[in-house]
Structure 1
Amino acid sequence: MRHVVVMAGTGAIGLMAVFLVDLLNFLYISHLHDPTLTAAIAFATSLSFVQSAVSLGMSIGLGASTGRLIGACRSHRARRQASAFLVVMVGVTLLLGCTTAFFAHPLLALLGAHGGALEHGTSFLHIVSPALPLICLGMALSSLLRAVGDAKRAMRVTLTGAICTAILDPLLIFGLHMGLEGAAISTVLSRCMISLSGFLNLRGYNMLEWPRRRMIPISCQDIGKIALPAIATNMATPIGNLFVTRSMSRFGLEAVSGQAVVDRMVPVAFAFVFALTGSVGPIMAQNLGARQPARVRETFLAALKLTALCVALAWAIFAAGHNIILQAFHVQGAGIALVKLFCCWVVASYMFIGLLFVSNTAFNNLGHPLYSTGFNWGRATLGTIPFVAIGAHYGPQGVMIGQALGVVVFGSLAMVAALSVIGNLEKKYSS
């Protein structure tokens, strides 16, 4: 439990700092009193989440594979493999970022954006998307720091970008009157700082070398076994959210803006839960490499207990402070009912999202990555589309409730499956 708390806690501080700055960014834009700007961020972020899923999936694969090699006392192999795979990560994310920027206008229109929201969202993605390799590098280097057990330095990587954005956002948005364009430029500069900080903090661990060309296909094969299913797994949630955003757009920009407020609060409130997925993975991988399945189970159960505690605390805070949230973000029209519904009731469903995320981490690091892919896509399709489609007949609140009900089913099933996988490992190593 102590190991999980330290690794996840430091990771959560870094994540919370990043997401808090993103929340402040949205808060600053909302104070411009232009609903097209807040809706533009909501639509653009829906696509950015898909990009982040690819980056996160590759980082998960890198961290899990490296952690397993370190646990098996093969640090030399881990260094060569990690260095070669970073080249692949940069190439893939550069292609993805530029492609998204090129097709930004039709993609946003497909999500239901129109008028000023469409134009502002397109401009935002034109600036931010090509810088995707920078944030991917930051994620990867932070993952390597967690793989070698240095949670504090991994936290510093994300904190650096958060501090940079916190300083530049108000300066560019209000001081230079650049509005949404200022927020986009601030995001790019922050990504530069995250990437630079990652390299500086990893210097003392001898985990990087000049990439060897012959190691690139080998690293792709070894890490890709984990990374590709992890990407597919992480893609499910943002793609499911695209359907939710499209459904919510039928009820106007105020409903989309209200959903955007919720989407910005969730990562801050549940940063600890999200950090668990990146933090307990290397712990499980190292103990698997050391043939200690009992410690794998202990890590998994500790993560579930911490998830329950985090959700209970967040529920109490949101329920007590929902009126303050409405006033701070100038929520209007249909968005008011959405924010109230989330703060008082729907927030409880994140316990099951936590179950799903922690279970997926277990699958990815214990040799069953396709399980996590199946559960995440099940949640994004069978657990989202029919529930949201039915809920849409009852208005924007029905959309939110439908999305919450789907995750209850798949989160519970994923937890049962993860416990079964761990149980099989215990039988294997005890025989």
Structure 2
Amino acid sequence: MNRPRSETSSSEDSGPPRFVVGSTMRHVLVMTGTGAAGLIAIFIVDLVSLLYISWLKDPSLTAGVGIATVVMFLTISINVGLMIPIGALVSRALGARDRQRARELATSGSVLMVVVSSLVSLMLLPFLPPLLTLLGATGQTHQVAKEFLWISLPTNGVMALGMGLSTVLRAAGDARRSMYATLSIAIVTVALDPVLIFGLGLKANGAAITIGIARFVYVYVAYLYLIRHHSLLARPSVQGVMRDARPFFAIAIPAILTNIAAPASNAFFTSIMARFGDEAIAASAIIDRVTPVAFGGLFALAGAIGPVMGQNWGARNFERVRQTLRDSLLFMVVYVLVVWLALYLLRAPLTLAFNAPPLTTDIVQFFCQISGFIWFFIGLVFVANASFNNLGFPLLSTFFNWGRATLGMIPFAYVGAEMAGPKGALLGIGAGSVAFGIGAAITSFWTVRRLERQATVPL
């Protein structure tokens, strides 16, 4: 609903949009740092939740939650695809100093995001048994995963709304409050997980219940920040939502197709690991939790540069768009090298903390040794895709993501598994990402040059 803007909001609106002035590297670092703090906090909580479950010393519980996470990754990836047009459209409108249009787009985008994400979750529920079987779940592992998802999936629409509102905050340049909203998930989970998992004896289901409660808190915090400090939400109307659906889905559909490539490839990798038993599935689950914690800065970077690029595109300052891309790639290289070293040094304590059995330990420690090689080229794709999505070339993002997830993943991982087991599958992922990472980075600079020649800003 419309509310008077606070004094904070008035002072923020009086000058030029935040990202069209000042150091682009500083904007990248601040937006990425605040975004990473919130994201990594959530990922750490997910890691800790799996750690708690591993302390129950039942591999079927760890494997069941790991397979359930693969399905949840699909829904969250769709949410991220729906989130991208909100950030792109709102930041462009703010860059063009059309605040009323930005408010309308933020409102319509949030409504559309909730509707689509809720429908996706409801459609998945009846197909969970065959889907989990396809992923390699059997017996107790299958039952644990199914119960976990029946509890957590119905609140996916709530999570989508929180992500949408948080994206509007970031599009307005308010990375700090967006971070606080995201951190609320971590705070709730840290407080409730031990109580529900151990105190009430709910085990994996306790972690799933905590997820739902934390999502409602996330929405509440993000909504309060948005209406009190930015007044970037209006009362939704059917006419407004229908009017904005076309530009929204013009970006959202390619973005969703792009994002579901990751869970599709992840599902394929999990099915490969399932061939080697529950210990290998448990290793995959641990890797899936460790990876976003370790490389959360790259996830945050991909979301951080969108508003910076969008506002400068709206202001038709293409040299700053290009410099933002350069700064992002430099940050990515340094970040991957630092994280790679940390994982290599901590590989033994990490597996000890999870009470990992021998095969699980062997796979996880091997991943820590080669993680930098894998994620350097995936990071190139991340940065390039963020550029494509926010500069009006979402189909290129779809091409590179699906190309890496299919041609760059399936044959390499399959052959690697046949030749060297789970370790060979991990090596295959890295080898298949090389060409797509380099190609995506080169193409991202070409898109900026093309926009500069066209010099148009369609809203």
Letter in 2 for 1:46: V
Instruction: Say if 2:128 is the partner of 1:128.
Output: no
Among residues 409, 413, 430, which one is paired with 1:404 in the alignment? 430
Instruction: Say if 2:46 is the partner of 1:17.
Output: no
* Residue equivalent to 1:90: 114
Kept after mapping to 2: 8 A contact 1:42/1:256: yes
Kept after mapping to 1: 8 A contact 2:337/2:372: no
> 1: distance between equivalents of 2:145 and 2:267?
15
Give the TM-score normalised by the residue count of structure 2.
Answer: 0.92
Give 1:426 shift: 3.6
> 2: distance between equivalents of 1:187 and 1:348?
32
Higher alpha-carbon deviation: 226-235 or 95-104: 95-104
Relative to structure 1, is the Cα distance of residues 73 and 318 closer, same or farther in structure 2, using a 3 angstrom cutoff? Answer: same
Among residues 215, 235, 241, which one is paired with 2:266 in the alignment? 241
> 2: distance between equivalents of 1:346 and 1:92?
34
Instruction: Provide Cα deviations, 1:218-247, integer angstroms capped at 9, x if missing partner.
Output: 211012111111111111111111111111
Among residues 30, 45, 49, which one is paired with 1:6 in the alignment? 30
> 2: distance between equivalents of 1:304 and 1:20?
25
Residue 236 of structure 2: SS of its match in structure 1? coil
Instruction: Say if 2:353 is the partner of 1:328.
Output: yes
Among residues 199, 208, 211, which one is paired with 1:184 in the alignment? 208
> 1: distance between equivalents of 2:75 and 2:196?
25
* Residue equivalent to 1:345: 370
* Residue equivalent to 1:414: 440
Give the TM-score normalised by the residue count of structure 1.
Answer: 0.98
Give 1:351 shift: 1.2
Residue 433 of structure 2: SS of its match in structure 1? helix
> 1: distance between equivalents of 2:36 and 2:109?
26
Percent identical residues: 43
* Residue equivalent to 1:37: 61
> 2: distance between equivalents of 1:13 and 1:91?
28
Kept after mapping to 1: 8 A contact 2:88/2:390: yes
Instruction: Provide Cα deviations, 1:228-278, integer angstroms capped at 9, x if missing partner.
Output: 111111111111111111111000010011111111011111111110111
> 1: distance between equivalents of 2:214 and 2:434?
35
Higher alpha-carbon deviation: 419-428 or 235-244: 419-428
Kept after mapping to 2: 8 A contact 1:334/1:396: no
Instruction: Provide Cα deviations, 1:270-308, integer angstroms capped at 9, x if missing partner.
Output: 111110111100110110110011001111111111111
Instruction: Provide Cα deviations, 1:16-39, integer angstroms capped at 9, x if missing partner.
Output: 110010000010000000000110
Letter in 2 for 1:298: Q
Letter in 1 for 2:362: A
* Residue equivalent to 1:80: 104
Instruction: Provide Cα deviations, 1:92-130, integer angstroms capped at 9, x if missing partner.
Output: 111111222222121101111001000000000000001
> 1: distance between equivalents of 2:146 and 2:269?
20
Among residues 281, 300, 304, which one is paired with 1:275 in the alignment? 300
Letter in 1 for 2:424: G
Instruction: Say if 2:189 is the partner of 1:169.
Output: no
* Residue equivalent to 1:153: 177
Residue 402 of structure 1: SS of its match in structure 2? helix
Count of aligned positions: 430
Give 1:210 shift: 1.1
Q: What is the alpha-carbon root mean square deviation over aligned residues?
A: 1.2
Write out the 4+ residue segments of structure 1 that deviate beyond 6 Å after TM superposition. Answer: none
Where in structure 2 are the equivalents of 1:351-370 lying within 5 Å?
Answer: 351-370=376-395
Residue 133 of structure 2: SS of its match in structure 1? helix
